[in-house]
Amino acid sequence: MEDIIFNKKFLEIDNVSIIDNVNKNGFFFFEGALNQKFVQKIEEDLSNKDFGLNVNTTNPVYTKAQYFFSNAMTASKEYFNLITSKKIFSIAKTKYNKDFRLKAQRYYETKYGNYMPWHADNVDNNGVLHKNDGLIMIIYINDVFDGEFQLIEGSNLKIDENKRDVNYIADNYVEENYKDNIKSFKGKSGSIIIYDTWHFHRAKPIKDKNFVRKSIFLQIDNSDRNAEKLLLTPDFFNEEKFKNIELLKFLGFGNVSDFASIPAGTIKNLPNKQIIKLTKLLSLTIIKNIIKRILIYLKLRN
Ligand SMILES: O=C(O)CCC(=O)C(=O)O
């Protein structure tokens, strides 16, 4: 299974050396860590799907310049296999040994017009700062040579934490103080970046109006405090996985998962394109319903 997901060269890298890089520099980067066929299947399963309206399925959420599939674990077996893979789990285990769990995961797409400030991730979903360590992995699902992930090397907020009561910094502050320390991670699809949550990072704003960046985000915290709600599809578990207590604990079985997924999907978030599509669909449905009613009425009268 692992060699279907990851390429041989990535699997051969010792987890200790991955974590050494994260500990020393704040990040580890490997271009094309996942096999192309596998990445393509994830894209096919999760990209370009409709948001849900009066349906029993799990669906993505649209915002003005992003698309989030937080329940992707239910919708793509390949995505599920990646998040529950031995490699991902063993990298986290190498870093934390115990008391670590999946805090959040999502497939997401980012477009021109999205703005993300420089920030660190020592904050929970309610915006409250905390001191737990965490590891984040970002995997590119298409070639990313615009709007790539960036991290400020040496900006470990943990060292600096008492000086700050917020987890973000202004762009001009970064320009003045950290310009030479910015690492940019351009890479082809299947590339992986693994980084420490205490480092300042962001997605660089996209320049090309037609480019859509497709990625996976997963966060593992060294704490069993609340995580985002996790929906699963039982038939994606093989026997080895559902008997693996360590894996089930990693997923949060038997523990609280009280944070809502990010972002909260509301009608207000919908981009105009989706609102127009929805309006057309609803108008058409109303017209069809009225015509049907009239026909039934006429039939009953005769
Ligand atoms: O998408 C990226 O490059 C960064 C994502 C990130 O920092 C976040 O979601 O907190």
In this structure, are residues 121 and 136 in contact, taking their beta carbons and an 8 Å threshold?
A: yes
Q: Which two tokens stand for residue 48?
A: 């370009």
Which pLDDT does position 128 carry in this prediction? Answer: 77
From 3.30.460.10, 3.40.190.10, 3.30.70.60, 2.60.120.620, which CATH number describes the 2-270 domain?
2.60.120.620
Q: How many CB atoms lie within 10 A of CB 49?
A: 16
The amino acid present at 200, given as its one-letter code, is F
Threshold 0.85, pTM exceeds? yes
Whole-number Å distance, alpha carbon 171 to ligand 1 midpoint, is 16
What is the rounded average pLDDT of the residues 231-251? 97
- 167-176: b (≥16 Cβ within 10 Å) or e: bebeeeebee
pLDDT for residue 161 is more than 80: no
The amino acid present at 174, given as its one-letter code, is V
Q: Please identify, by atom number, the ligand 1 atom nearest to the C-alpha of residue 121.
A: 10
Q: Which two tokens stand for residue 49?
A: 């799907």
In this structure, are residues 29 and 149 in contact, taking their beta carbons and an 8 Å threshold?
A: no
In this structure, the residue with its CA closest to atom 1 of ligand 1 is 203
Q: How many CA atoms lie within 13 A of 50 on its CB side?
A: 10
Phi/psi at 116 (5° precision):
-125, 120
Phi/psi at 17 (5° precision):
-75, -35
In this structure, the residue with its CA closest to atom 6 of ligand 1 is 202
Q: Which two tokens stand for residue 89?
A: 């789990």
Whole-number Å distance, alpha carbon 202 to ligand 1 midpoint, is 6
Instruction: Tell me the per-residue pLDDT of 105-155, one tens digit each, with 9 for 90 and over.
Output: 999 999 999 999 999 887 777 777 777 889 999 999 999 999 999 999 988
Whole-number Å distance, alpha carbon 107 to ligand 1 midpoint, is 11
Instruction: Tell me the per-residue pLDDT of 36-89, one tens digit each, with 9 for 90 and over.
Output: 999 999 999 999 999 999 999 999 999 999 999 999 999 999 999 999 999 999
Which pLDDT does position 162 carry in this prediction? Answer: 54
Whole-number Å distance, alpha carbon 98 to ligand 1 midpoint, is 25
**Cα(100)–Cα(16) distance, integer angstroms:** 17
Residues contacting 22, CB < 8 A, separation 6+: 28, 95, 135, 194, 195, 196
Whole-number Å distance, alpha carbon 84 to ligand 1 midpoint, is 21
Domain extent listing, the chain: 2-270, 271-302
Who lines ligand 1 at CB under 6 A? 121, 138, 149, 201, 203, 215, 217
Closest C-alpha to 192, from 231, 121, 135, 248: 135
The number of angstroms, rounded, from the C-alpha of 188 to the middle of its chain's C-alpha atoms is: 18
* DSSP three-state, residue 140: strand
In this structure, the residue with its CA closest to atom 7 of ligand 1 is 202
Query: In testing the pocket of ligand 1, which one of 201, 211, 212 has its CB within 8 Å of the most ligand atoms?
Result: 201
In this structure, the residue with its CA closest to atom 9 of ligand 1 is 217
Instruction: Tell me the per-residue pLDDT of 246-272, one tens digit each, with 9 for 90 and over.
Output: 999 999 999 999 888 878 888 888 999
In this structure, the residue with its CA closest to atom 8 of ligand 1 is 202
pLDDT above 70 coverage of the chain, percent: 97
Q: Please identify, by atom number, the ligand 1 atom nearest to the C-alpha of residue 262.
A: 9
What is the rounded average pLDDT of the residues 20-45? 97
In this prediction, residue 165 has a pLDDT band, given cuts at 50, 70 and 90, of low
Closest C-alpha to 140, from 193, 84, 102: 193
Which pLDDT does position 159 carry in this prediction? Answer: 61
Q: How many CA atoms lie within 13 A of 265 on its CB side?
A: 16
Sign of CA dihedral 9, 14, 18, 20: negative
